[in-house]
Amino acid sequence: MSSATGSHPTAQSHTMTDMVQEATMERILQEITAVGRRLEGLDTAITSLTAEIKSMRLDIAGFQSRVTGLEQQVTTMEDHINSAQDRDEALLYHCSKLIDLEDRSRRDNVCFFGFPEYIEEMRLAQGRL
């Protein structure tokens, strides 16, 4: 005996199985779509990070070039400082020699006040006495 509605239990379970499969497939499709969106976001982030890394590499290369230039300038300045120190030492040596020579030349130029300097003045002084 069939009912008046005409439902068959096997057809109903088959339809139920189809509905579950469709829901499962829909859910899987949604998950795949969500994963795809996340992957697109990751791809965008990776592209952005790659661009940042390239920019940083250029900056680092610029800094390396500047540091190399500064190192060369420091080396040049050190050479100039060493040269100036050598000249300073030479000047100090020559100054001490000059002072010594001036001191030695002053030894012959001792002045005594109250005493005649020339022999003639001494004779005149003796004649007056």
Q: What is the pLDDT of residues 9-68, one digit of tens each?
A: 566 767 888 899 999 999 999 999 999 999 999 999 999 999 999 999 999 999 999 999
Please state whether 127 falls in left (phi above 0), alpha (psi between -120 and 50) or beta: alpha
Arithmetic mean of pLDDT over the chain: 85
List the structure tokens of 91. 């000047």
Question: pTM value?
Answer: 0.47
The CA angle 53-34-28, to the nearest 5 degrees, is 140
Taking every pair of Cα atoms in the chain, the longest distance, rounded to a whole number of angstroms, is 184
CA separation, residue 39 to residues 53, 65, 89 (Å):
20, 38, 72
Q: Are 125 and 116 in contact (CB under 8 A)?
A: yes
Domains of the chain, by residue range, sit at 16-107
% of the chain at pLDDT higher than 90: 62
